[in-house]
Amino acid sequence: PLRYMDQPSKDGASKDSWYSGLGGLDVHYSSGPANHFFYLLSEGSGAKVINGVSYNSPTADGLPVTGIGRDKALQIWYRALTTKFTSTTNYASARTGTLAAAGELYGTTSAEYKAVQDAWAAIAVGSRSGGGGGTGTSYESSTPVSIPDNGPAVTSSITVSGRTGNAPSNLQVTPNISHTWRGDLVIDLVGPSGTSYRLKNFSSSDSADDVTDTYTVNASSESANGTWKLKVQDQAAQDVGTINGWTLTFP
């Protein structure tokens, strides 16, 4: 075979999972993790025989993935590809797009939606459904919000319920923001009490694109339950962007 989707690295150059240096590879090889994601979502992890061919698909976190079948996987990927992805979609944005597509097709509490989370986590993109693998319990918004150029702040909300006590001192916030010259952006987490926690300051020298880093916030004075908001403001002219989504993780 020219490519191996169950374990892309078997061709000697493709990568099985995402890592920070992936963008420096030839695109034929940096697409390996996406191929791996689709295999895992379709067929699941581990050893199996399909049409007389043996496969053995590993996962980055060592945890299993249960596949949902090729038909459902292709419906999710096609919907994301045609309605969510753009020419600048990266791996983090692809995760958000496929989750949005899965939510629209099958619901956000469905096995299909959770399988998308797990398949991405298995190639080191995002966290598992239900906090598997010690990454905690995640709550996610996949509703896009446009960021106006040099304009007022915009927010995206996540409602947390069913938890007891206060939020942790190591609450994790992972924005998925597409924006050229990301230094224009100021980003805050706003807790249920209305208190703001600064995640990212303005920087006139930060010309890189997009914000997908995970930030840790001491939110122990906040009730865990309630509406949390990601607040983003563009404070300089000429560049616009979008909050593709964001994740709030309770370790």
Give the pLDDT score at 195. Answer: 97
| pLDDT (0 to 100) of residue 176 | 87
pLDDT at 134: 40
Ranges of CATH 1.10.390.10 domains, the chain: 8-129
- Sequence ranges of the chain with CATH classification 2.60.120.260: 136-250
Per-residue pLDDT of the chain (251 residues; tens, 9 = 90+): 899 999 999 999 999 999 888 888 999 999 999 999 999 999 999 999 989 999 999 998 888 999 999 999 999 999 999 999 988 888 988 998 999 899 899 988 899 999 999 999 999 888 888 654 444 577 888 888 999 999 999 999 999 988 889 999 888 898 989 999 999 999 999 999 999 999 999 999 999 888 888 888 999 999 999 999 999 999 999 998 999 888 888 87
How would CATH label the architecture of 136-250?
A: Sandwich (2.60)
DSSP codes joined into one string, the chain: ----SSSGGGGSS--SS--TTGGGS-HHHHTHHHHHHHHHHHH-SEEEEETTEEEEE--TTS-------HHHHHHHHHHHHHHT--TT--HHHHHHHHHHHHHHHH-TTSHHHHHHHHHHHTTTSS--GGGGGGT-EEEEE---EEE-TT---EEEEEEE-S--SBPPTTEEEEEEEEESSGGGEEEEEE-TTS-EEEEE---TT-----B---EEE--TTSBSSEEEEEEEEE-SSS--EEEEEEEEEE-
User: What is the pLDDT, as a whole number, of residue 83?
Assistant: 92
The CATH homologous superfamily to which domain 8-129 belongs is Neutral Protease Domain 2 (1.10.390.10)
